[in-house]
């Protein structure tokens, strides 16, 4: 299934943007919440930083909310920056096996945020396979990816401000080049997942909503 024609997609891209700290519209979150209003999930997995606001919001839909902050291991990166080592090298998530949830864990919703930017492309197949192993059939996955917008050197902090808004906490460090994740590549990488929605945001990011088909 294609998101939209290539020519139409090119017309929607306005050129490089800069990500800024603040509240941003999130039509992908709106679409996710609309589905959760119709079908209550049994378990939700948030792969971002722990947030009281996020937990409070997600608890409206489900009592079982797990938080697995994959970006928490930053000590080596911080040491490199202080020593003047390669500042242009992007932060990389720990190996995919760093998902420390029990092997029998399963979820109906996964908030993946912008983590796709920080997995080595050579490791994406393993990462997505591990993610799929945590999903029940018809599980929903929300993620953000950039095609032309420079990204932050470390994953952004996301706080849910409402069903249609996200607060971005953006690093003050110089941005990294855009990772060029086109809709076609994201769809290709998400093996086993069916694309439901794609939104091109004004800040240059793309929001994707997938459903796991097994």
Please tell me the distance from the alpha carbon of residue 128 to that of residue 63, in angstroms, as a whole number. 25
Please tell me the distance from the alpha carbon of residue 45 to that of residue 67, in angstroms, as a whole number. 6
Please tell me the distance from the alpha carbon of residue 115 to that of residue 55, in angstroms, as a whole number. 19
Helix, strand, or coil here: 68?
A: coil
pTM, 2 dp: 0.86
What ranges do the domains of the chain cover? 6-71+106-212
Give, for all 214 residues of the chain, the pLDDT tens digit: 444 433 333 334 444 578 999 999 999 999 999 999 999 999 999 999 999 999 999 999 999 999 988 887 543 343 344 444 444 456 887 665 666 677 678 999 999 999 999 998 998 998 999 899 999 999 999 999 999 999 999 999 999 999 999 999 999 999 999 999 999 999 999 999 999 999 999 999 999 999 999 8
Nearest residue to 49 via CA among 168, 145, 153, 129: 168
Please tell me the distance from the alpha carbon of residue 213 to that of residue 191, in angstroms, as a whole number. 9
pLDDT tens, position by position, 28-47: 999 999 999 999 999 999 99
Nearest residue to 111 via CA among 66, 147, 151, 71: 66
Please name the fold of domain 6-71+106-212: Rossmann fold (3.40.50)
**Where are any strands of DSSP class E within the chain?**
22-25, 44-46, 65-67, 107-113, 135-146, 157-162, 165-169, 193-200, 205-212
């Amino acid at each position: 299934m294609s998101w939209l024609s290539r020519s139409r997609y090119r017309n929607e891209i306005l050129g490089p943007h800069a990500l800024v700290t603040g509240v941003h519209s999130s039509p992908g979150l709106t679409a996710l919440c609309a589905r959760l209003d119709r079908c209550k999930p049994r378990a939700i997995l948030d792969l971002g930083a722990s947030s009281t606001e996020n937990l409070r919001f997600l608890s409206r839909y489900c009592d079982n909310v797990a938080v697995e902050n994959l970006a928490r291991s930053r000590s080596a990166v911080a040491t490199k920056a202080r020593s003047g080592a390669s500042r242009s090298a992007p932060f990389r998530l720990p190996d995919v096996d760093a998902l420390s949830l029990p092997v029998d864990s399963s979820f109906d919703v996964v908030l993946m945020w912008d983590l796709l930017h920080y997995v080595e492309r050579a490791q994406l197949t393993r990462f997505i396979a591990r993610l799929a192993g945590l999903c029940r059939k018809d599980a929903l996955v929300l993620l953000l990816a950039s095609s032309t917008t420079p990204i932050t050197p470390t994953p952004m902090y996301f706080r849910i401000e409402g069903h249609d808004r996200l607060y971005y906490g953006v690093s003050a460090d110089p941005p990294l080049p855009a990772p060029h994740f086109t809709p076609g590549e994201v769809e290709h990488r998400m093996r086993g997942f069916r694309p439901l929605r794609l939104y091109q945001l004004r800040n240059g990011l793309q929001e994707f909503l997938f459903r796991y088909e097994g």
